[in-house]
Chains A and B, each alone.
Chain A
Amino acid sequence: MVRYLGRRTLYMAATLLAISLMVFVIISLPPGDYVTALQAKYNVMGQGLTEADVANLRMRYGLDGNLLQQYWHWITQIVLHGDLGMSFEHSKPVEEVIAPRLGWTIAVSLITLLVTWALAFPIGVYSAVKQHSAGDYAVTTVGFLGLATPNFLIALVFIYFSVTWFGSVPSGLCSPEWCDAAWNLGKLLDLLGHLWIPMIVIGTGGVAGLVRIIRNNLLDELRRPYVTAARARGVPEGALLRRYPLRVALNPFVSTIGWVLPLLLVGDIVVGQILSLPTLGPILLGSLKSQDMYLAGSVIMVLSVVTVIGTLISDLLLGWLDPRIRLGHQR
Chain B
Amino acid sequence: MSTQQPARTPAGNQRSEFQWDPTLTRRGLVLSGGAAITASAAGCSFFSTDPEGEGAGGDKGPEAPMLAERVEAGDLPPVEERLPKEPLVVKATDEMGAYGGTWNTAITGPSDGPWLWRTVNDGHLLERSRDWSEIRMNVASAFEANADASEFTITLREGVKWSDGTPLTTSDVEFAYADVNLNTELTTAMPTELTSLDGTPAELEVVDDFTFIVRFSGPKPLFRDDMAAGVAGQRFTMYPRHYLEQFHPTYNPAAQDEAVAEGYDGWVSRFTALGNLWNFQWENPELPTLLPWICKKPVSDADYALFERNPYYWKVDEDGSQLPYLDEVRYNIIADVETMFAHAVNGDYEFHSRHFNDNAHRADAVDGEEAGGYTIIDLEGTYSSDMNIAFNLNHADAKLRKVFQDKQFRIAMSHAIDRQELIDVLWNRVGEPTQAAPRPESDFYDEAFATQYTEFDPDLAASTLDAAGYALGSDGVRTSADGTRLEFTASVADDALLGTVWLDGLDMIKDMWAAVGVTLHVNGQPRENWQAGIDENAYDLTVWTGDGGYIDETTAVQWYMPAGPSGGALFARQWSAHYTLNGAQDAEMLEAPPAHVVQQHDLYDQFLAEADEAARAEIFTQILAVAKEQFYAIGTVRGQGSWAIASKRLRNFGGPMPENPSYGTPGPAAPEQWWLESE
Measuring CB to CB, which residues of chain A are less than 8 angstroms from any residue of chain B?
30-32, 36-37, 39-53, 56-57, 60, 62, 83, 86, 89-93, 95-97, 100-101, 104, 156, 159-160, 162-163, 165-169, 171-182, 184-194, 196, 272-276, 278-279, 282-283, 285-286, 289-291
Contacts and interface: CB of A to CB of B under 8 A. Distances in A.
A188 B533 CA distance: 48
A44 B566 contact: yes
Given A32-B528, A96-B263, A169 B577 contact: no
Contacts of A48: 189, 192, 567, 577, 580-581
Contacts of B336: 273-276
Contact of A46 (B104, B300, B565): B565
Contacts of A96: 263
Shortest 5 CB-CB contacts between residues of A and residues of B: A278-B302, A181-B6, A32-B532, A193-B35, A91-B273
A159 B187 CA distance: 44
B41 A169 contact: no
A173 B303 contact: yes
B6 A168 contact: no
A169 B37 contact: no
9 contacts: A46-B192, A90-B110, A166-B31, A167-B27, A177-B5, A180-B6, A187-B6, A190-B34, A193-B28
A105 to B, nearest CB: 10
B339 A159 contact: yes
B19 A193 contact: no
A173 B334 CA distance: 12
B657 to A, nearest CB: 21
Contacts of A30: 528-529, 532
A56 B110 CA distance: 25
B24 A274 contact: no
Contacts of A176: 16, 19, 104, 304, 330, 332
Contact of A282 (B109, B343, B533): B109
B41 A186 contact: yes
Contact of A168 (B28, B189, B306, B584): B28
A189 B104 contact: no
Contacts of B338: 156, 159, 274
A36 B532 contact: yes
B278 interface: yes
Interface stretch (B204-212, B264-272, B507-515): B264-272
A64 B361 CA distance: 43
Contact of B109 (A172, A175, A283): A283
Contacts of A56: 188
Contacts of A291: 528
B42 interface: yes
Contacts of A39: 535, 567
Contacts of A51: 584-585, 588
B122 to A, nearest CB: 18
Contacts of B4: 184, 186
Given A40-B567, A178-B6, A182-B6, A190 B16 contact: no
A47 B108 CA distance: 25
A251 B371 CA distance: 51
Interface string B234-264: 0000000000000000000000000000111
Nearest to A52: B584
Interface string B532-546: 110110000000000
Contacts of A40: 531, 535, 566-567
Nearest to A182: B6
Given A46-B565, A47-B190, A163 B345 contact: yes
A273 B335 contact: yes
B582 to A, nearest CB: 9
Nearest to A41: B278
Given A31-B529, A42-B189, A189 B38 contact: yes
Q: Which of B297, B343, B527 has the most CB of A within 10 A?
A: B343
A169 B343 contact: yes
B536 A185 contact: no
A95 B30 CA distance: 40
Given A32-B529, A168-B346, A276-B339, 20 more contacts: A30-B532, A36-B528, A36-B531, A40-B566, A45-B191, A53-B188, A93-B263, A95-B263, A159-B338, A168-B24, A168-B27, A168-B31, A171-B343, A177-B6, A177-B16, A186-B5, A186-B37, A190-B35, A193-B36, A276-B333
B587 to A, nearest CB: 8
B334 A178 contact: no
Contact of B189 (A53, A159, A177, A283): A53
